Structure 1
Amino acid sequence: MKHKLLITFLLGFFSLFQREVSGQGTNARTDATQSFCGTTGGFNVIPAAGCAPLTVNVKNLVPRPESLTYAFRFDRSQNTPPNTSETTQDSTFTYQTPGTYTILQYGSANGTGFSQCKDVTVKETRGPRAEIIACTNGKVRLTIVSDDISKAYDAIEINWGDGAKETVNIKTTSTAYFDHTYAGARPAITLKGTYTDGQCATNTNVTTITANTPPPSLASIRIRSVELPADGNAKVIYEGMEGVETKLYIAKGNDDFIFTNQSGKTGGPQSASVPLLDPKLVYRFQLWSTDICGNIVKSPIVSSIAIKQGGLSLDEIIALEWENEPNTDRLMGYQLKRNGAVIFNTTDKRSYEDTDVKCGNTYQYEVVAIIENDVRSYSAPISLEPKTSAPGDITNATVTVKDENTIGTKVELSGEGLTSSYNLVVERALLGSGNYEVVSPANNQSLQWDDANVNTSQHSYCYRFQYENACKMKSPNFSTPVCSILLTTNSPDIVWNPDAPFISTIESYNLQQVDASGNVIDVILKGLSTSHTLDLASQSDFSYRVEAKSSDGNFTSLSNLLNFRSEAIILVPDAFTPNGDAYNERFEVKAYFIKTFSMSIFSRWGEVIFHSDNIAEGWDGNVKTGKASGGYYLYKIEATDASGQAVVRNGSFLLIR
C-alpha cells in the first residue's frame, strides 16, 4: 500500500517538475518529458563495471528514506515509473549477460519524493562463435560469426591447436574468414575474446571447435545473363559466393575456354565486362570457381546470341536470322524484339520474316534467348530498313465494259518494288485521241478500279496504268494502252468497232455467248473479223460480248454485253396440196424463238387426226383410213417462248386435192 502511494506521490512530483521547467524553454521541457530519472536521490554502485555474470551492490545515501525501491533494468529514456514487477527493495542484483544497464533509485524522505539513475557496464565473457569448413587435404577455413558476442571484444584469439595462433581485431579487420593448413590430423581449435585493458581475462569463456563440415556446394554460382552490345563490350551478370574465387572464361564457337582476366570473391550479383568482342560472332561463357579445398567447379555454359539480316529479299519484308551455341541448361525459347517491343516468340525457330514494316523507316531488332532457371542472353541490336526497289512497268491489264456508264479496269502486279501501300495511277483517253488524263483518285490502292464516268454506248476508251510504291518510286513508263470494244447490233448481225484495242498485234477476237448468270457457255473464234451473223432460227434467248487478247497474252479487252430475247414467231400456212407434184405437199408450221412446241389437227367433228411435238414434222394429209378428203381442218398449237411464257394458236386451213 505504501509502495502504491509512493508511486502516486512520485507521479505528482514528476508532473510538478514538468510544470516548473516548462517556462525554461523548449530544451528543458523536452528533457523533463524524456526520462523518469531525477537528481534528488543518492546511492553508490559497487562495482560500476565488471565481467558477466556481474553482481552489484547498491548503497543508499539518502537520509531516513521511506519505501526505498530500485529498478535494476530501467530504460533511461522512459518517462513513466517502472512496473512493480520490475522493482525490488533488495540492494543486490546479478547481471547474467553483458550490456550497459541503468539502475533507478526512488523513494521519499521528509515528505518529498526523490529519484536518481546510475549506469552499470557488464562486459562480454561468452566464447565467440565460429563456423569451420574442413578439406581432406588438411586445409580448414574458419569464419567467425559476426554477432553481438564477437563485436563486444576488442580482439579474438584463434588457437589452431598445432602451435599456431593468431589474434584478430574483429572490429577493424575486413577479412571474413581465416585459413589454416594442417600437416596431419586436425586438433581442436579454440577461440577466446580479449580486451585491450586486460579485463575479464580470467572470466572469459573459450569456444572449442571439433566438428568437420564439408565444403559448401557451389551450385549457386552461375551466370544470370549475357549481353553483347553493338560496341562489342560483353556484359556478364553472375551470382558469386563470399570467399569463393570465381573466374570468368570465354570460348569463341567451339574453341577452348580461355580466362578473361575477370574474377572476384564477393557474394551476391556480380558484373564482369569482356571488351573487344565481335557482336556478329557467337561466344560461350562459363564460370570456374575454386572452393577452399582447391577443387574447380564449372558453372553451366551460357552462350551469346547473334542476329543478322536473313537471305529472303522481298519488298517491305525484313528477314531475320539468329544463332547461338547450345547451352548446358535447357533452352526455353527466343523472344524477338523490334524497337524494344516483343513481336515474336518461338521455342525452336531461328528465323522470322517481319511483314509489319513500312518503306522509308528504320527498325531496330534484338533477340533474347530464354534459358532454364531464369537465365537470359541478349544479342546486340541491329538496325535495318525494308528493301526499296524501283517497280517495273505494268505488263498485265484487262479492260471490261460493265454497263453503259461503267468500264472496269484490272491490273496484275509482279516483279520487285511492290509495297503494301501504293498508288495505282489510271489514265483515260478517247479511242484515237491520245489525250490521256488521270481519272483514278489520289493514293488509289485498288488493282480493280471502275471508271463510272463514261458513255460506252457511244464511245470506246483507252486506259493506261502506272505503279507508284510507298517509297514514291514509280514505274519507268505507263503500261501499254488497253481500249474498250464497242459492240452493236444490226440484226441479224452484231458488229464491233474495227479500231484495235491494243497498240500491239491482236491475237484474235472471240465472241462469247453468255447465259443469264454471266457464265460463258460458248466461244466462237472470229480471228480478226469484226462482225458476226446470228442464226435467228435456232436461237431465241442469248447474250454476246467480244473478247480481244493481245498477241503476247498480257492484255485483254472485253466489250459491252448485248442481250437478245425475241418474241415467239409462229407461221401457219392457210392451205396445202398433197397431190404428188412435190410442191406444198405437207402442212408445215415455221416457229422462231420458242422452247417447246406441240401441234394437234382436228377433223370438222373435233376428232384428232394428227399430233406432233416436233416442229420439223408436218402433216402429209393422210389419216388411218387413207387419204383425208379435201376441205377445211382445224389446228391447235401450244408452245412456250424463250422466257417460259405460254403461246397458243388456233385456226383452220384448207386441204386441196
Structure 2
Amino acid sequence: MEDNACPAPEISLSTLIVEVSPGDPSPPLLKCVSFEEVGAEGGNPPSKDIRLDWDQSQPAQDSALKFNYYYIYAAASKNGPYFKYDSIADIDSLTTIVAYNTGLRHFYLNKSTGACNFISRSSDTLSLMTLKMTPKPAFSSNQADLSWNPLIPNSSLLPFDTRGVYEIWMENPANSGAWRMVGETTSSGTTSYLDDRPLCGDSLRYQIRVTDTIAGCQSKSTIEQGYFSDQLNLDVLNLDSVSVNADGNAILSWESTQYGDVQDYLVLFNDPVSGWRVVSTLPVGTPMPYEWTDSRADERAEQFKIVSVDSCGNQSDELLVSSHKTILLKGNINRCEGFVKLGWKPYGGKLNNAVPAEYRVIAQITEFGVPGPATVLFSGTGEDTSFTQNSLKKGAEYCFYVQAVDASGNVTSSSNRICLDASVPQPSRVLYVAQVTNNENRKSIDIRAFVDGEADVAGFDIEKSSEKYGIYEKIGDVEMPSSPPYVIYFSDYAVDPTTTYFYRISARPSCGTAKRDTVSNIGRNIVLTAKPNANRSNSLVWSPYEEWGGVVGQYDIYRSINKQNKFSYIGTVDGNDTTYVDIIKDFEKETGRFCYFVIATETGNPLSILNDNGLPYTSLSNTVCVNQKARVFVPTAFRPGSDVEVNKTFGPSMRFEDVAEYDFYILNRWGKVVFQTNEPGEEWDGKVDGQEAPTGVYVYYLKYSTQEDVPEEERGTFTLIN
C-alpha cells in the first residue's frame, strides 16, 4: 500500500479476509393452503381457487442481501413431479392464488437471494385437503360421513403452529354463508368424522379447516354438499322393567333415548280386547319410573312397549321393540294346615337383556296392627313359579309380592301384592330337644324337650332314626302338658347304649291333619369306645353330642378302677375334641380293669335354657370298660440264701394282675418239672421235694391271659445260685 499524501512517503503490507455471503438459506414458511370460492355473478357458478399463504423466513433475511424471488412449486400428486409454478419478486407479497382447475394440489416454496441467485432450502410441503362426504343412510340420510387427505402429505402430524386438530365446519342451509364449526377430530392423525344431522329435509355443506394460530390464516378443504332428510326414526327403546306398585298400578322404567331429535315417548299397552294402543304420550325428560294410573295390574298381567316420536313426526318401529309383561301373583290359604300356596305367571320380558335369573317371594307381616319389615322368604331360580309359606302366625296379616331379579341383582320387577288374614291354629313357636342322655341305671336313653304351651297342638310324636338324615320312625307319643313348665319327657328302652341314635319330636296339629305342626331339632346320644394301649395308657374316643341350641362347651371324663362303682373325674377336653388318652402307669398294682364315661356340657344357649338346677344341660355317654394286659417281668437269676427277700424266690412279677388264666412251670436241664403253679404270686424257693436243687441253669414256661384276651406264652432260662 502506498500513501503519496504523507510528507514522508512510506509503503506497508497487510492481509485482509473478506467473507462474502452468497445468499439466505432460510426458507419461507408455507402456512396455509385454502380452497376458496369467489361469489357468483349473473347466475354463473362461483369460481374456485386455491390460496397459498406464507411468512418470510425466520430469522429475518439480512438487509444487505438482495431479495430476488419467491418460487412456488406445485404438483398434481403428492409424490410429484413438482415444477416451478410461479415466481414473486416482491418480498412483502406473502400470498398467491392458484386456479383450482389446474389440478394442482400439493405445494412448497423456496426463495432466491443475492447477486448469484442463491436458492434457499424448501419449505414444508402442504396439500390441499380434498373432502369426501357421503350422506348415510342413502335413504333418509341423517349422518354425514366425512373423510379427507392430511394437510401434510404422508404424515399424521399437523404444523406446529396449528391447534393440532382438524375442525369440521358446516354451512346450514347450503350457500347461505352461515358457516359454523360443529366438531373437531380427537387428534392430528384422524382424517375422518361422522356427523349426526337429523334434519327433516335440508341441504348442508361441509368443509375441513386447520387454523394457524400464529399467522391467523386457515387451511380449508374443498366443499362438499349433501341433502339430509330424516324420514326414519331408528330409535329402539327397550324397557328396563315393568312392575306393580302398592296401589295395583303398573310402573314402567326405560333408558333415555340416544337420539337428540326425539321429542316424545309413546306408552303402548296390549289391550286384551282391542290390541296394542297408545295409553300415554310423555315428553322426553319425564322422570322415571312412570306410573300408569288407569292400570289394573292387580287383576291381570299387563303388557307394554315404548316407542318414540322425533321432531319430524317419525315414530320408531314398534316391531323392533321387546315387550314386557307384569307378574300376576295369586294365592290361597289353607287355614287348617296353616299354609299359603302362592303361584305367579313368569315375567313377560327380559331384565338386563336376559330372562330373570331368580324369583324372590317377599312378605310383610302385620301383627297386632304393627307392620313388620319386608322379608325375603324364598329365593328360587328363574324357572320357579310357585311357593308355599308354612308356619303362619295366628291372627297375623301376610302381604306377599314376587320379585323377578336379573343375574346382576340390580334390575328387578315386582308383582302385584296380595294380603291374606292368617286365621289359623297357632303352631309351635318352641319345640326344642334340650337333652338326649344315657341312663345307665334304667338301661335307657332319656329325652327331655321344651314345648310351646300356647300352641294349638294335640300332642307330640317321639321319632328315632339310625341316621341323621335317614327315615325317622315313631317310637312313642306324649300329650301336651296341661300347665307350666311346658316340658315333656320320654325314655327309650329299646336301645343298645353302644349304638348311635338320632331323635326328634313332631307336634301333631289340632286340626287332625296328617301334616306335622312343627319338627324339633335333632338330639343324638354320645357313644364312647375305649382301647388299651401297650404304653400303659387307654385311648378314649366318642361321638360328638348333637344338637343343642348352643354348642358343646366341654367334655368331662370320669373313670373307675377294679370294678368299683365309684367314678372319679380325671379330665376335661374342649367341646370340639372327642378323644382322650388316660395315662395309667400309676395303677400297675391294680387288676387292670378300667371303666369310663363322658359328660358333655352345653354353653351359649341362645334362649338361655337351663336345667332344673339352673345349670346348662348335659348329656351322659354310655359306660365302657377295658382290661389292660398283664405285664410280666422274669429275673435271670436268684439265690435262695440271699439276704434280700425278693431274691430268695423265683417267679414272674405281674403288673395289672386281673389274670383269667395262669400256668407257670420250671424244668431242669433234663426236662423234668421241678416246680408248677396256677396261682399268680406263688414262686419257687429253689427246693425239689424239700431238698435244695443244684446250682445251674433252669428253664421256665409261663402261660397267662388277661380278662377277655387271648392267652400268651413266655419261655426263658435263669440261673439258680446256691
**TM-score, scaled to structure 2:** 0.41
Which one has a bigger Cα radius of gyration?
1
Give the TM-score normalised by structure 1: 0.44
Name whichever structure is richer in helix by fraction. Answer: 1
